[in-house]
Amino acid sequence: MTHIYNFSAGPAVLPKEVLAQAAAEMLDWHGSGMSVMEMSHRGPEFISIYQGAVRDLRELLAVPDNYKILFLQGGGLGENAIVPLNLVGRKPQPATVDFVHTGSWSGKSIKEAAKYANVNVAASSQADGYNRVPPQSDWTLTPGAAYLHICTNETIDGVEYAFAPELAGDTTIVADMSSHILSRVIDVSKYGVIFGGAQKNIGPAGLTLVIVREDLLGAALPICPSAFDWSVVAQHDSMYNTPPTYAIYIAGLVFQWLKRQGGVAAMEKRNIEKAALLYAALDADDFYHNRIAAENRSRMTIPFFLRDESKNEAFLAGAKQRGLLQLKGHKSVGGMRASIYNAMPIEGVQALVDYLNHFAGRGK
């Protein structure tokens, strides 16, 4: 098999060990004679897979007991509607929702929420080309807002929060962590809701994770589809309707793999190392550039540009020859993007760095 490193933003690289285990268990899961894909979600085999995944995730993120872990469908974009449908009903209508606009994904969230609530953009880095997270001291929050929505890693723009907001009063913070959940230690208790699509840093597409504080349940708007009403989903242990069983199984294997790696703190250490290695190569001279403010540079999703954009095609072709795949930037920003999620080994980052140096003609 050709050896490659996959820098895709998502669906993205998965740990080889996990894929090998899934392959070995494909036709006969633990002597059941069945593939996980063929099992009833209500049977004892799948229930044990589901329970293990929830337990391991709770342990990895130290999720407090007063939070529910839900496995849904609909992706990150689905949550952009599902979040307001579940939360704006906690306040007199029409409620207001605050946003910090730091890039493409928070921008999409703002648009969608405006269908269900008044939207206040408390702070925005749009005028600066989304190159940073506006400091919390600059946020203009709405007293009595239903919640504040932030995207803690802007996957396309490469902007990551280096802090967890500390807000006065009981403001509920909703965080879209799709592209960096489980990459760094977080204090779940600082958030009311954490959500993320699985296909970036967890597992296959089709699974959406929601971690929600229990007191926020039960206020869904009457128009909220039952299958997306978090309290209904929680009451049914994520089995109100058929959950994405195979995606949950793979996510569960990834959680076990993370535990074997030493957990989230150990991953964070490696992610810091990996990101430092890559940014150092991008910063070595002005052949490449990344324009994000130093303290907000993402450790996971790293966009970069060649000064001479006429070399883009040659850069990508040369990368492909070395087995460095899916480095083309998002169409909205152009350039390149290297996603170096948990499952990207440091050897992959080193291979990319070697190529960056070679292509820039360094060390000759």
Ligand X SMILES: *Cc1c(COP(=O)(O)O)cnc(C)c1O
Q: Which residues bind ligand X (CB under 6 A)?
A: 10, 75-77, 105, 151, 155, 176, 178-179, 197, 200
* Residue 334 tokens, joined: 């152009």
Q: Which is nearer to ligand X, 47 or 121 (CB)?
A: 121
Rounded least distance, CB 113 to ligand X, Å? 13
Sheet holding 288-289, edge to edge: 288-289, 301-306, 336-339
Rounded least distance, CB 190 to ligand X, Å? 18
Classified as helix, coil or strand, 196 is strand
Q: Which is nearer to ligand X, 155 or 290 (CB)?
A: 155
Burial state string for 188-210 with b = 16 or more CB within 10 A and e = fewer than 16: beebbbbbbbbbbbbbbbbbbbb
Q: Which is nearer to ligand X, 117 or 300 (CB)?
A: 300
What CA–CA distance (Å, rounded) separates 52 from 96? 38
What CA–CA distance (Å, rounded) separates 255 from 261? 10
Catalytic one of 200, 230, 274, 328: 200
Rounded least distance, CB 116 to ligand X, Å? 17
Rounded least distance, CB 75 to ligand X, Å? 3
Catalytic one of 56, 68, 105, 274: 105
What's the chain's length in residues? Answer: 364
Nearest 5°: CA angle at 329, between 325 and 335?
115
Contact residues for 321 (Cβ-Cβ < 8 A; gap 6+): none
Instruction: Provide the strand spans (E) within 139-225.
Output: 147-151, 153-154, 159-160, 173-176, 193-197, 208-213
200 catalytic residue (yes or no): yes
Q: Which is nearer to ligand X, 8 or 261 (CB)?
A: 8
What CA–CA distance (Å, rounded) separates 309 from 279? 19
Rounded least distance, CB 161 to ligand X, Å? 12
What CA–CA distance (Å, rounded) separates 231 from 226? 9
Q: Which is nearer to ligand X, 148 or 151 (CB)?
A: 151
Rounded least distance, CB 225 to ligand X, Å? 16
What CA–CA distance (Å, rounded) separates 114 from 119? 6
Half-sphere exposure (CA, 13 Å, Cβ side) for 347? 4
Name which of 147, 149, 155, 122 is nearest 136 in CA terms.
122
Catalytic one of 56, 98, 176, 229: 176
Q: Which is nearer to ligand X, 151 or 217 (CB)?
A: 151
Nearest 5°: CA angle at 314, between 283 and 13?
70
What CA–CA distance (Å, rounded) separates 46 from 40? 7
Q: Which is nearer to ligand X, 315 or 335 (CB)?
A: 335
29 catalytic residue (yes or no): no
Contact residues for 363 (Cβ-Cβ < 8 A; gap 6+): 357
Residue 267 near residue 258 (C-beta atoms within 8 A): yes
176 catalytic residue (yes or no): yes
Rounded least distance, CB 322 to ligand X, Å? 26
For the annotated catalytic residues, the residue numbers are 105, 176, 200
